[in-house]
Amino acid sequence: AGSDRPADPGGEGKGEIHLVHLYPREMSIYGDLGNTRCLAARIRRHGYVPVVHQHHPGAELPAQVDLVVGGGGQDSGQVTVEDDLERIGDRLRELAAAGTPMLMICGMYQLFGNAFVTVEGKSLPGLGILDVTTHGNEKRMIGPVVLSTDVGDVVGYENHSGSTTLGAGQAPFGRVRHGLGNNGTDGTEGARSGHVIGSYLHGPILPANPALADTLIGWAAEQATGHPFAPETLDDEVARQAQQRQVRRLLA
Ligand code: GLN
């Protein structure tokens, strides 16, 4: 795995937070790379030292993993990373069970579920970290989205053919106030188990919703340092105004 550890990190600050981006080449569509950039920038602004590891197929995961992100991709990208994901699956399941925060968007959300059956009928097994199952459809679900979630309103953009069903005990990430969400019928969007969040929202989701970014960073900071998250006050006025505009425009 490559790492962008700076030559002179300027001291340890409040501690290092090791962030793993799964499959940035194959699974990073609609600007999802922005989630990693947002996390790294906010981790630094909160006084911690971000260490970003890009995980490519065939590589080993780093020894320290405090936060894991994955993005969307085409069905073909999902087929390409499937074997590698199974190879590192036990470690990811252990990390998730230990409380490591993870954010999986769209295609990677589907692969963190039980299975993704493509529109051609090919079944890709998932990690089963989230109790969800997805079937591809001819008709795509596309458009802007507004959700109610535990971290308040969340805005974003969805574009998926996969229709996802939650298992009986599986909590969603949010409730759809505008858009289609998991399947366009039950009003749920994404899934959340402990510190693992799956969602269809691109945007990318984190720069558009800083409260969600800081929730993940807070969990990661506690995991990494053993101390409560000690955030700085950041100026998120631009993101807040953009989010409110989108909520007003779509719910009016
Ligand atoms: N291929 C998947 C789908 O269309 C994922 C799409 C995505 O990640 N944007 O459902």
Residue nearest to atom 5 of ligand 1 (CA): 107
Residue nearest to atom 9 of ligand 1 (CA): 72
pLDDT tens digits along 157-184: 999 999 999 999 999 999 999 999 999 9
pLDDT tens digits along 31-85: 999 999 999 999 999 999 999 999 999 999 999 999 999 999 999 999 999 999 9
Which among 179, 200, 246 has a CA at the least distance from the CA of 105?
200
Q: Answer yes or no: 202 catalytic.
A: yes
Beta pairing, strands 67-70 & 102-105: parallel
Residue ranges of the binding site for substrate: 140
pLDDT of residue 10 exceeding 60: no
Residues with CB under 6 A from ligand 1: 29, 72-75, 106-107, 136, 159-162
- Ligand 1 centroid to 31 CA: how many Å? 14
What percentage of the chain exceeds 90 in pLDDT? Answer: 89
- E strands, the chain, are 2-3, 16-22, 49-55, 67-70, 102-105, 115-117, 123-125, 132-149, 152-166, 174-178, 188-189, 191-193, 196-199
pLDDT of residue 120 exceeding 50: yes
Q: What is the ipTM of this complex?
A: 0.90
Q: Answer yes or no: 38 catalytic.
A: no
Position 8 scores a pLDDT of 42
Tell me which of 106, 135, 160, 195 is the catalytic residue: 106
Residue ranges of the binding site: 140
pLDDT of residue 237 exceeding 60: yes
